[in-house]
Structure 1
Amino acid sequence: MKAFTLLVSLPATLAWLPGSDSGKIRGVNLGTHFIFEPWISDEVWSSMGCAGQNSEFDCVLALGQDAADAAFAEHWGSWITQDDISLMREYGLNTIRIPVGYWMKEDLVYGDSEHFPRGGLQYLEQVVGWASGAGMYIIMDLHGAPGAQQPNQPFTGQYAPTAGFYQDFQYERALEFVEWMTTTIHQNEKFRNVGMIELVNEPVQDVDQAATMRSSYYPDAFARIRDAEASLGVSEANALHIQMMNEKWGSGDPTESLPDTTVAAYDDHRYLKWDGSVAVDKESYIAASCADDRGGNTPTIVGEWSLSVPDDVQWSGDWDPASNAEFYARWFAAQVIAYEKQLGWVFWTWRADLGDYRWSYKDAVEAGVIPKDLDSIYDNSPC
Structure 2
Amino acid sequence: MTYFDTDSHAPNYSAVVRLLNPLRSLYKSLLKTTLLLLAPVTLTFSFATKSEAQFLKVAGTQITDGTNTNFIIRGVGLGGYMLQEGYMFHVGFLGTQTKIREKIQDIVGAANTEKFYKDWHHKFIQKADIDSMAAWGFNAIRLPMHYNLFTLPIQKEPVAGQNTWLPEGFTLVDSLLSWCTQAHIYLILDLHAAPGGQGGDLPISDRDPQLPSLWQSKANQDKTVALWEKLAERYKDAPYIGGYDLLNETNWGFTDSTDTRGTREQKNQPLWDLLKRITLAIRRLDKRHMVILEGNGFANNYHGLDSLWDNNIVLSFHKYGNFNTQKSIQYFLDLREKLHAPIWLGESGENSNNWYTHCIRLMEDNQIGWSWWPWKKMGLNNPLEIKTPKNYQAFIRYSAGKGPKPDSATGKEILSEWLKNIQIGHNIIHRDVIYSMFQSVQHPATAPFAPYALGKRPCYILAADYDLGGNGYGYLDKDTARYQYTPGVHTDGNKGHQYRNDGVDIRIDSTTGKPYVFSIQDGEWLSYSLQIADAGKYRLQLDYAIGQTKENADTTAHIDILQGTTKVGQLDLDLGLGTQQEPGSPQNKHFTISKPINIGLGASSNAGPIRLKFNHSGLLLRGIIIKEMGQ
TM-score by length of 2: 0.46
2: CA distance between counterparts of 1:103 and 1:171?
14
SS where residue 184 of structure 2 aligns?
coil
Residue in 1 that maps onto 2:177:
128
Residue in 1 that maps onto 2:443:
379
Q: Post-superposition shift, 1:112?
A: 7.2
Partner residue of 1:55 out of 71, 90, 96: 96
The residue correspondences of 1:142-221 to structure 2 (distance < 5 A) are 142-160=191-209, 164-167=213-216, 168-186=218-236, 192-204=239-251, 206=253, 208=255, 211-221=268-278
Q: Post-superposition shift, 1:132?
A: 1.9
Give the length in aligned residue pairs: 325
Residue in 2 that maps onto 1:316:
none
SS where residue 279 of structure 2 aligns?
helix
Where do 5+ consecutive residues of structure 1 fail to align?
46-50, 230-235, 276-284, 309-327
The residue correspondences of 1:55-134 to structure 2 (distance < 5 A) are 55-59=96-100, 63=105, 66-107=111-152, 109-111=154-156, 119-134=168-183
CA 1:307 to 1:146, structure 2 compared with 1: closer, same or farther past 3 Å? closer
Partner residue of 1:306 out of 336, 341, 349: 349
Equivalent AA in structure 2 for residue 218 of structure 1 = L
The residue correspondences of 1:187-336 to structure 2 (distance < 5 A) are 192-204=239-251, 206=253, 208=255, 211-229=268-286, 236=287, 239-246=288-295, 249-253=299-303, 255-256=305-306, 258=308, 260-272=309-321, 275=322, 285=323, 288=325, 292-293=329-330, 294-295=332-333, 296-297=335-336, 298-308=341-351, 328-336=352-360
CA 1:108 to 1:123, structure 2 compared with 1: closer, same or farther past 3 Å? same
CA 1:91 to 1:246, structure 2 compared with 1: closer, same or farther past 3 Å? same
RMSD: 3.8
CA 1:213 to 1:361, structure 2 compared with 1: closer, same or farther past 3 Å? farther
Q: Which has the higher contact order (CA 8 A, sep 6+)?
A: 1
SS where residue 301 of structure 1 aligns?
strand
Bigger radius of gyration: 2
Equivalent AA in structure 2 for residue 339 of structure 1 = M
Contact preservation (8 Å) 1:8, 1:23: no
Where do 5+ consecutive residues of structure 2 fail to align?
1-50, 159-165, 257-264, 386-427, 446-469, 472-631
Residue in 1 that maps onto 2:595:
none
2: CA distance between counterparts of 1:291 and 1:108?
39
Partner residue of 1:352 out of 377, 384, 394: 377
Q: Post-superposition shift, 1:36?
A: 1.0
Contact preservation (8 Å) 2:192, 2:248: yes
Contact preservation (8 Å) 1:268, 1:301: yes
Determine whether 1:361 maps to 2:410. Answer: no
Partner residue of 2:187 out of 126, 138, 145: 138
1: CA distance between counterparts of 2:156 and 2:59?
42
1: CA distance between counterparts of 2:433 and 2:156?
46
Equivalent AA in structure 1 for residue 220 of structure 2 = Q
2: CA distance between counterparts of 1:90 and 1:179?
33
Determine whether 1:38 maps to 2:63. Answer: no
CA 1:338 to 1:197, structure 2 compared with 1: closer, same or farther past 3 Å? same
Contact preservation (8 Å) 1:5, 1:19: no
Deviations 1:41-66 (A, max 9, x none): 24xx8xxxxx9854233455663765
Identity between Structure 1 and Structure 2 (%): 18
Contact preservation (8 Å) 2:150, 2:167: no
CA 1:175 to 1:256, structure 2 compared with 1: closer, same or farther past 3 Å? farther
1: CA distance between counterparts of 2:358 and 2:157?
49
2: CA distance between counterparts of 1:177 and 1:131?
22
Equivalent AA in structure 2 for residue 265 of structure 1 = V
Partner residue of 2:72 out of 10, 19, 24: 24
